[in-house]
A and B are shown apart, each in its own frame.
Chain A
């Protein structure tokens, strides 16, 4: 359940950029498949944390990226959506991770009325 800490980190980052809390319409984030984060668990925690901290009930839009890996047995560079997707060329799991552990808050969308 480190997703609760991560949800608090997300609102801290958003609050810092916005200069305080305000109701949000949408929060866009990116999660890599090797980040060790459960998107469902993060969504559950973020919904509660956002509400408690004055950010309303924003939609959380999660972009899940593919990892980039390089096979240490045959040198092929490949992409994977999950941990146990081995080298498409030789099947090996022995690889160097080039990317796939990212976790970023990309942007927020705020509804502005003309009242």
Chain B
């Protein structure tokens, strides 16, 4: 009976990320056409992404807009709006990362026409693994870690920390209370990623924020 069956091989030869990468390219074209510099901010939950954005919103005001990615609730968008800038919430409904298509839909809901608008911050879903492989169309991928997470995290998540352009170490105000070797974290990140820029900040107290925001301003005013 086996003689009566044949195997047909169908060639597919398609990178699985093709669709995401097409949307990312389209986002990049749309945003660069409007002279908007875009960040993709990635960290574990609770590292201080939203607090950082609140602090940045106070610095940049209406120059900045935010896309928030969360599994559920629009709490973060609400927080950033209160700090003074436009924010759109993506609720992924269970998915552990943002993809470029979701960002593309969000861009369709936002007002990108203001001449003042120069910076778009995309806050990814809190996760150090899944968001790392998804290009959203950003100019800069930023990894954020905070002191309470421990200084041994970089080498545990090489997929993310080898791809970022900027590392932010947050919650520096806690340094007197926590055993965290800042130099170890920086050295380990540079061992994976020799060209990474590093900023040590406290989004809560404002420590280091002027340097970081000044760096971004140079990027988009350029």
> B194 — nearest CB in chain A belongs to which residue?
A94
Q: Classify chain B: how many residues form its interface, as a range.
A: 20 to 34
Q: Classify chain A: how many residues form its interface, as a range.
A: 35 or more
Contacts A2-B97, A18-B10 given; does A34 touch B159 at CB 8 Å: yes
Chain A contacts for B12, CB-based, 8 A: 13-14, 17, 104-108
- In whole Å, how far is A78's beta carbon from the nearest beta carbon of chain B? 16
User: Which of these binds chain A: B25-33, B46-54, B80-88, B129-137?
Assistant: B129-137
- Residue interface mask A81-106, B partner, CB < 8 A = 1: 00110000000011001000111111
Chain B contacts for A21, CB-based, 8 A: none
- What would 10 A/B residue contacts be, using CB atoms closer than 8 Å? A12-B19, A17-B14, A36-B129, A36-B133, A94-B190, A101-B133, A104-B15, A105-B12, A109-B8, A110-B8
Cross-chain pair count, CB within 8 angstroms: 95
Interface pair B5/A107, CB less than 8 Å apart: no
Q: How long is the Cα–Cα vector from A115 to B3 in the complex, in angstroms?
A: 12
Interface pair B192/A93, CB less than 8 Å apart: yes
Chain B contacts for A13, CB-based, 8 A: 12, 14, 16, 18
Q: How long is the Cα–Cα vector from A2 to B99 in the complex, in angstroms?
A: 11
